[in-house]
Chain A
Amino acid sequence: MAKRKLVLTFPEDIVTKPITYRLVKDYDLSFNILRAEVTPDMEGKILLELSGDIPKIEEGINYLQESGVTIQEAARDITVDKKECIHCGLCTSLCMTQSLTLDPETKKLLFDKDKCILCGLCSNSCPVDAIKLKM
């Protein structure tokens, strides 16, 4: 029995299709959705933990990718270095769950960790390397 924590990105055209349930039915995997941001007609993201036999997990991932889902390993943690951050807000355009936003008053960066799904899209975008991703 193995476990993998993954971030699944669903393009808008397949976001409403029942893809994940087949992981259970066809690949005998169980999954636990840790966080999700899914809106019809928009790209969706799900952080889930897959459990099952290693070969079945691989097959399940292949099936997802063939269905048009982008898969990446989830980060363990994301931190924002407040001393390095220059509050440009570039990362906020990449943050689908809006855990990174600019304060409307101060225009300074806010990071709401509870909303973060650890997708890591923000990490290799920061021009001053203030966002650190732990894998």
Chain B
Amino acid sequence: MAKTIEEINKKIKDGNVVVLDAEEIIDYIEENGAKKAAKDVDIVTTATFGPMCSSGAFLNFGHSDPPIKMNKVWLNDVPAYSGLAAVDVYLGATELSESEGMNYGGAHVIEDLIQGKTIKLRATAHGTDCYPRKDIETYINKETINQAYLFNPRNVYQNYAVATNSSNKTIYTYMGKLLPRFGNATYSSAGQLNPLLNDPYYRTIGIGTKIFIGGAQGYIAWHGTQHNPNQHRIANGTTIGPGATLAVIGNIKEMSNNFIKAAIFPGYGVTMFMGIGIPIPVLDKEMIDFLKIKDEDIFTIIEDYSVQRRNKPTYGKVNYKQLRSGNIAINGKKVQTGSISSYAKAKSIAQYLANLIKEKKFFLTEPVSQLPQDEKFGNLEILSQEEI
């Protein structure tokens, strides 16, 4: 009864593949049972749309005449890293503009590029025999730039903590504005739609898996930074708090602003909302056992973001059904909740991906290699040369 990815791809080609999104599969399993669901359904689409700071773009501008080995590079006044070959740079999403500060950053440059807007490129160099030019100022856009692709070192977190604030003043964090004395609490996960919560041991999601990224078809390149397979899990396999992460890659020239958006968290800085969809093949009944999870089966920990330390005090755990109800209890107090990732957008991406598959525009891939099932989660200690 088990299916292979090859068989599922043949069904896509033949036009008789059955695809549901990760929300629809919950009801389907409840109505028809796990055995029938495993037989009937071929693919479940999962998705997420949330701020993912560890994102950025590799750009290759093509060579000017005379050529230049760029040393310092700015795109609309946002610095890009150019310690690579002559006209290769990496532009980080959270990099801030040197003229506009927190009002514009790397994510906005990427968004402008996707939208087809004109971007000012400025670079300086020391000049060499092979690259004589010492400075350049020109304009580029999506059509003229030689290559542009996202390479995001850490996206698609498998779960995340809830943030709250016990102190007496409002704090501004990457989890949003947190009001004093537990005035609110924010969270960030697509929950039952999240890719890695629906495949918690990464049976089907691995290196080389084809994904939907920002409107393009891209790939999982590696496990993400801070990938933590040893995070505490509950019986259904899901992690309590942050677990696995993915490094992903995709062509900017094929992306759309419907699925990727620059953002500013006031008082924190610039980041980028990434829309990512991952199809999960229903290989057998075991996959259905993972795919049946719903918001109330997924738990996370409430952390106090007013404590400016690596390890923050915690206030117990909650599930995503409670979080999405609009309020939770912290120390007996009713606290309003809000999400910083968009469930509505995640749902629309899961449906969009399901349609792409049904229209024979998206085929599944077999992972080339598994994501690590064991990985040390290290911290940075401040040590002298003698202590290390």
Contacts and interface: CB of A to CB of B under 8 A. Distances in A.
Is this pair of chains taken from one and the same complex? yes
Interface stretch (A28-36, A56-64, A81-89): A81-89
A131 B253 CA distance: 30
Chain B's interface: helix, strand, loop or mixed, by majority? strand
A128 B266 CA distance: 10
Interface string B3-18: 0000000000000000
Contacts of A127: 51, 176, 263-265, 271, 273, 340
A93 B344 contact: no
Given A86-B344, A92-B338, 9 more contacts: A12-B181, A42-B334, A86-B342, A90-B177, A90-B340, A98-B326, A128-B263, A128-B273, A129-B264
A87 B344 contact: yes
Contacts of B49: 86
Interface residues of B, number: 32
A43 B345 CA distance: 32
A12 to B, nearest CB: 8
A16 interface: no
Nearest to B327: A93
Contact of A94 (B51, B179, B181, B344): B179
Contacts of B185: 93
B351 interface: no
B274 to A, nearest CB: 12
B334 A93 contact: no
A134 interface: no
Chain A interface: which size bin?
20 to 34
Chain A's interface: helix, strand, loop or mixed, by majority? loop
A88 B184 contact: no
B334 A108 contact: no
Contacts of A98: 326
A94 B261 contact: no
B342 A89 contact: yes
B186 interface: yes
27 contacts: A11-B181, A43-B181, A87-B344, A89-B339, A90-B338, A90-B339, A90-B340, A92-B326, A92-B337, A93-B176, A93-B186, A93-B336, A93-B337, A94-B183, A94-B184, A94-B336, A96-B336, A102-B339, A102-B344, A106-B344, A107-B347, A108-B344, A121-B179, A124-B177, A125-B177, A127-B51, A127-B263
